[in-house]
Each structure stands twice: as structure tokens, then as C-alpha cells.
Structure 1
Amino acid sequence: MVQVFVFLHVLAAIMMGIYLLLPFLSMRIQALTGQAQFGFLSVLFAVNRTGQLALVIALLSGGYLVSKVGNSVAWMIVSVVLFLALGALTGVLGGAMRKALSDPSGSKVKDHLGKIKSMSVICGILFFLIVGVMKFPF
């Protein structure tokens, strides 16, 4: 049973790898115009939703795996805080994307572009920290 949860956990981590690419992809939005911005942002919105689903799967499978292995309490607290922070910030990012996509002509994308780019960078840094904490537990 543990191997099934390890598989789910690793699969979710691979799916969340998009958060390492998202800062670079979000920088590309401003180079596009009008409908192209709207279409590209729609794809990034769908990718963010997939990453959020993967985050939930990783949190649940990781909770089961932690119960089977003896890790320090400090490591568990840091892991949960980082996961919750990433979940919260991806929610804020999704909200900004949803507001930018509220007009199909793409006229509202420029209003929310700064927030989308900054949240993407923060989410990328947080995911990098999560991978580091998971790879090198203390």
C-alpha cells in the first residue's frame, strides 16, 4: 500500500513541476496582444487548476506516508506550512487569472498582469523550497 501512495506522491510532484515553469510562461503574456493573451492565459489558468489538484493529492498522500515513517516534528511543520502557503498563493494566482479572463476580448489582462507575474514567481520559489525540504529532510 505504501508503494501506491509513493507513486501518487511522485506523480503529483511531477504535475506540480509546472510551478517551476509558470514564472517564465507568465512573462511571455505581455509579449502577446488581445485574443492571444486571453488564449494563453486561459491555458495557464487550466494548468494552475491542475497544479492545485496535484497539490491536494500530494498533501493527502504525503500525510499517509508521514504516518508510516518517523520524521521530526519540525520537518512536518515546515512541510505543512510550505504546502499551505503554496495552496493559498495558487488560489490568489487563480483569482487574478479569473479576473483577467472575465472579458473575452482580453482587455482586462493588462490590469492583472503584474499580480499574475509576481504570484507566479513566488509560487515557483515556494515549490522549489518544497522540493528541497522533501529531498533533504532534517
Structure 2
Amino acid sequence: MWQPFMLVHILGAVLMGFYALAPFVAGKLKTVSAAGQEGVLTSMITANRIAQFMLIVNFITGGYLMSQGKYSYVWMGIVTLLFLAIAAFSGIMGKKMKLALQSVKNNQSNKAALDKITTFSTLIFVMFIVTVVLMVYNF
């Protein structure tokens, strides 16, 4: 049963790869036109939703895999906290993306929302990379 769970877990990690690209895409949002921002934000909202779903899948499969392996309690705690932080920040970022999209549709300024999207996507990126490193080098 371990191998199917590991397969789903790895596929989920690949689909969460959006978090590795998000800060670079968000950083360019200020340089495109309003129509471009609308398209990019719509795509980012969809990708964030998929990544959030896969985060839940990985949390469940990771819990099973942790129960089957021999990992330190410190490692399990750190990984769990990182997953919960990514989930929280991605939810906040999703809300900011929806607000920015709404302001683009209403022809309003959205600089503050775009700054927050960039900040949260960068924080998530760092936590995602740390999580991937911890998955490879567990202790």
C-alpha cells in the first residue's frame, strides 16, 4: 500500500509546483496591461485552487507515509507546520488575487493587492522549497 500512496504523494508535489512559479509570474503582473492582468490573475486563481487541493491530498498521503516510516518527531512537526503555513498563506494569496481581479474588472488601482500577492507567493515559494528539501533529506 506504500507505493500507491507514494505515487499519489509525488504527483501531488508536482502539481503543487505552481508555488515554485507563482512569485515570478506575480512579479510581472504590474508590467502588463489590465486585460493581461485579468487573464494572468484568472489563471493564477485556478492554479492556486488546484495546488490547494493537492496540498490537502499530500497532507493526507504524507500522514499515512509518516505513520509507516521511522521519522523523528521534530521532522514530522516541522513538515506539518510548513504544510499548514503554505495552506494558510495560499488561502490569503487566493483572496488577494480575487480582490485584484475584481479591481481590474472595475478599472480600479490594484497596486496594493499585487504587492501582497507577490509577497505571499514569495513566502510560499520559500516554504515550498524548504519542504521539498526536507522531503529529500529527512532526519
Shorter-chain TM-score range: over 0.9
For structure 1, the 5+ residue unaligned runs are none
Alpha-carbon distance, 1:28 to partner: 1.4
Q: Letter of the aligned partner of 2:30 in structure 1? A: Q
Alpha-carbon distance, 1:35 to partner: 1.6
Alpha-carbon distance, 1:2 to partner: 1.1
Identity %: 33
How far apart in 2 are the matches of 1:27 and 1:67?
Answer: 39
Alpha-carbon distance, 1:40 to partner: 0.9
Alpha-carbon distance, 1:108 to partner: 4.5
Q: Letter of the aligned partner of 1:128 in structure 2? A: I
Q: Letter of the aligned partner of 2:66 in structure 1? A: V
Aligned to 1:76: 76
Matching of residue 61 in structure 1 with residue 38 in structure 2: no
How far apart in 1 are the matches of 2:112 and 2:78?
Answer: 34
Please report the TM-score for the alignment, with normalisation by the length of structure 2.
Answer: 0.94
For structure 2, the 5+ residue unaligned runs are none
Residues 1-138 of structure 1 aligned to structure 2 (within 5 Å): 1-103=1-103, 104-138=105-139
Structure 1's consecutive aligned runs of 4 or more residues displaced over 3 angstroms after TM superposition are none
Contact 1:101 1:108 in 2 (8 A): no
How far apart in 2 are the matches of 1:37 and 1:24?
Answer: 14
Contact 1:9 1:57 in 2 (8 A): yes
- Name the count of aligned residue pairs: 138
Q: Letter of the aligned partner of 2:126 in structure 1? A: I
- What CA deviation, in whole Å up to 9, does each residue of 1:106-129 have, x standing for no partner? 535334110001111111001001
Please report the TM-score for the alignment, with normalisation by the length of structure 1.
Answer: 0.95
Q: Give the root-mean-square deviation of aligned CA atoms.
A: 1.2
Alpha-carbon distance, 1:38 to partner: 1.1
- What CA deviation, in whole Å up to 9, does each residue of 1:44-103 have, x standing for no partner? 111111111111111000001111111111111011000001000001100101111224
How far apart in 2 are the matches of 1:129 and 1:44?
Answer: 22
The residue matched to 2:9 in structure 1 has which SS? helix
Alpha-carbon distance, 1:36 to partner: 1.4
Change in 2 beyond 3 A, CA 1:40/1:29? same
Deviates more, 1:11-20 or 1:99-108: 99-108
